[in-house]
Structure formats: structure tokens, C-alpha cells
């Protein structure tokens, strides 16, 4: 499982720049560059008050990452095999405002 850092500070699952969800899904089936990817698991903190109370635990540094970005060199059978992954989008309001900074085209 990749080590994950998350700079999407307004995601309900972000806890100290780690993900408290335990697994994420990176979207961008036809992506050729990182900006064409996104974290499909993003949920805006402002829109998710019920989830906020459920995710107050610690963040996980290593999590399972499902990945639709088939042209990424780290994608094997829609699973991320990168040692480290970084999700960015500090001002995200929706999943399309996030990006997998670790994406590398084959």
C-alpha cells in the first residue's frame, strides 16, 4: 500500500495531511497528465457534518489506492503500486478540484 500525503485540507477525511478513510479511489480513466486525475473519494468537510464526527480518528499513512488512470505507470490492474502518493487540491470544493500529483504517464 502506498504512503499517502494529502494536501486537500477541506476534505472530510483529511487528518493532519493524512487520509482517515483507509482507502481512496483516483479517477481519470483517460488521463495523460496529473491535472486530468482526481481523488474520487473527496468529500467537502462543509457538506459532510455527519461524516465529520465519524472521521475524527487518526489519519493513515499507508492506504489502499484504487486507480482508474490506466495510463499511469503505477497502475496495475486498477491498483496503485507507487511507494508514495500525493493528493493535492488545497482549495477543492469537489473531487474534480483535486489531483494525484504522483501520476506518471507510461
Query: pLDDT at position 58, please?
Result: 61
All cell numbers assigned to 84: 508514495
50 pLDDT more than 60: no
Query: pLDDT at position 22, please?
Result: 87
Query: pLDDT at position 68, please?
Result: 97
48 pLDDT more than 90: no
Query: pLDDT at position 53, please?
Result: 46
Mean pLDDT of 86-105: 95
- What pTM, to 2 d.p., does this model score? 0.87
Amino acid at each position: 500500500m502506498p504512503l499517502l500525503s494529502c494536501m486537500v485540507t477541506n476534505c472530510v477525511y483529511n487528518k493532519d495531511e493524512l487520509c482517515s478513510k483507509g482507502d481512496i479511489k483516483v479517477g481519470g480513466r483517460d488521463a495523460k497528465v496529473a491535472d486530468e486525475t482526481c481523488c474520487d473519494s473527496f468529500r467537502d468537510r462543509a457538506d459532510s457534518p455527519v461524516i465529520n464526527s465519524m472521521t475524527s480518528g487518526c489519519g493513515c499513512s499507508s492506504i489502499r489506492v484504487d486507480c482508474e488512470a490506466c495510463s499511469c505507470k503505477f497502475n496495475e490492474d486498477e491498483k496503485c503500486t507507487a511507494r508514495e502518493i500525493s493528493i493535492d487540491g488545497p482549495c477543492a470544493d469537489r473531487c474534480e478540484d483535486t489531483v494525484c500529483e504522483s501520476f506518471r504517464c507510461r
